[in-house]
Amino acid sequence: MKAATGLSSACILAATMATLGAARGEDALPVVRPEAVVRAALQYSPAVRLAAGEVGVAEARRRQARGAMLPQVDARLQAATYRGIGPFVMNGVTVVEAIEDRAGWSAGVTVPVYTGGRLDAVLRSAEFTRAAASESRAGAESDVALQGLTAFWTWSKAHYGQAAAEAAVARMETHAVDIRNRRAAGLATEHEALATEVALEQMRLRLGTARRNVNQARAWIAFLTGAELATNAVPLRAETAGDAGAPSEADAIAAAATRPELAARRADLSACEAMAAASRAERLPQVVLTARYEQGRPNMMNIPPRDEWQDDRYIAAGVSWTLFDWGLLRAKEAEAHARSLQARARLAQAEAAVAYEVRDARIRLQEALERTGVAERAEQSARKSLRAVTDLWQGGLARHAEVLDAHTQLVESEYQILAARADAALARAALKHAIGRRMAY
């Protein structure tokens, strides 16, 4: 089952990359979009499958509770052979003949007439439990989707960070060649050549870190989807976030009230309260009506029994009422009440956690959007600064250390803009998750 699911996830990723690659040209690298990773993660996720299994269990229990309220029809069939028995004789007269081969069948209907609302309460509890399981499954899907988006944008940030590091190493290698040529011509000092080599090694170390980050992100996606990404696959680049900001805190918290997690906790509370009502109903009389028709050879309801088929029928009403049970019912009621209190506490805890998640996601999105704007301007400034400082240094009007600083600033600004854009995309996804994906922003 796991292998088949992993294959499905691989097919989803492969189909998406093939479609995008064809759209971009035959020789284009396969570009993976975040939606493809999310779909593959949802297809593969053990957590989603477990949640779906809980829905199946809850549905089966709901059908059991509904079936307990309906008339129960049963049929019985029996046959027996006895050896070593003889007739019952009294005063020389056979009173009961010896019947060695016996058979019989019966059919009956049992109807719960009055249970004090116990069966109704059990059914309500089962229905609420079914609703809670369904909402929990939706919540699990939302969590897996956020994990998929987090892994994807982490991969995107690492991938394009690696590309920026490779470009930075190439620039520094070109600069190092220039310095060595100048050193040979007596136009650069040994200190400048050494400083350039150190800066180049630092850039290469940064490139190595970027490559490891890419490998870690790809491994994370493989863990979530059960399928390895193609070796030549590249992620969609995070673009400028645009002018769309975060919703107001009040609107976001109001939208979050419909989150599946909260709906599941509310349904759990209702289910516990219904079970508490069912426990209280056990103190009341329980009335059951039974009707049965049977045939037997012999029919033991007839005296004396005869070796012939005879039938009988009856209707009976039974009443049971527990008068004393050493505190058993009180203990059941106490347990049901305690579980209701637990469910209410879990609901309050979930509401507080969701409100905090919304506030935290809004703050992170606002910070990422602000950082994106600053990073974009800083990257433009760093490029201009490197060109200007390089021209001044070549004209003998700037120190070589200023050139190295300009290279470092450009590398940092290039990474910061990539990171800020990816973080903004991830923060927007986190906010959408926090408010239950019920609100456009």
Tell whether the model's pLDDT for residue 178 goes beyond 60: yes
The count of other CB atoms within 10 Å of the CB of residue 203 is: 23
Residue 428 lies in a domain: yes
pLDDT digits (tens, 9 = 90+) for 71-118: 999 999 999 998 888 787 777 666 778 888 899 999 999 999 999 999
> pLDDT value at position 438?
46
The whole domain housing 384 covers: 2-69+129-283+352-434
Radius of gyration of the chain (CA): 38
H or E element at residue 177: helix 118-184
Neighbours of 57 (CB within 10 A): 12
Least confident of 272-286, 294-308, 409-423: 409-423
In a domain, 295, yes or no: no
Query: 438: Cβ–Cβ under 8 A, 6 or more apart, which residues?
Result: 255, 258
Q: Is 261 part of any domain?
A: yes
What's the rounded Cα separation, in Å, for the pair 433 and 361? 9
Instruction: Please state, in angstroms and rounded to a whole number, the distance separating the CA atoms of residues 1 and 52.
Output: 15
Which residue's entry shows tokens 């527990």?
Answer: 322
Q: What are 89's strand-pairing partners? A: 94
| More reliable by pLDDT, 262 or 15 | 262
Task: Read off the pLDDT band of 383 (50, 70, 90).
Answer: confident
**326 CB neighbour count, 10 Å cutoff:** 7
Residue 201 inside a domain? The answer is yes
Backbone angles phi, psi at 318, to 5 degrees: -120, 135
- Average pLDDT, rounded, for the chain: 86
Residue 276, burial from CB neighbour count under 10 angstroms (0-12, 13-18, 19+): buried
> Would you say residue 309 lies in a domain?
no
Q: State yes or no: pLDDT of 308 exceeds 70.
A: yes
Domain contains 360: yes
pLDDT reported for residue 196: 84
- Token reading at 410: 């450009």
Residues linked to residue 90 through DSSP beta bridges, in sequence order = 93
The predicted structure's pLDDT at residue 440 = 37
Please tell me the number of Cα atoms within 13 Å of 211 on its side-chain side: 7
The pLDDT assigned to 10 comes to 54
Query: Is 383 contained in some domain?
Result: yes
* Each residue's pLDDT tens digit, 195-213: 888 988 988 998 999 999 9
Give the total number of structural domains in the chain: 1
Place of tokens 């049971």: 320
Characterize the bridge pairing of strands 286-297 and 101-114. Answer: antiparallel
C-beta separation of 113 from 288 below 8 A: yes
Domain with residue 391: its CATH number is 1.20.1600.10
Position 402 confidence tier, pLDDT thresholds 50, 70, 90:
confident
Q: Is residue 341 part of a domain?
A: no
- Taking the whole predicted model, whether its pTM rises above 0.85 is answered as no
Measured in whole angstroms, the distance separating CA 346 from the mean position of its chain's CA atoms is 19
369: Cβ–Cβ under 8 A, 6 or more apart, which residues? 241, 245, 246, 424, 427
| pLDDT of residue 14 exceeding 70 | no
Residues β-bridged to residue 75 = 107
How many angstroms from the chain centroid is the CA of residue 43? 11
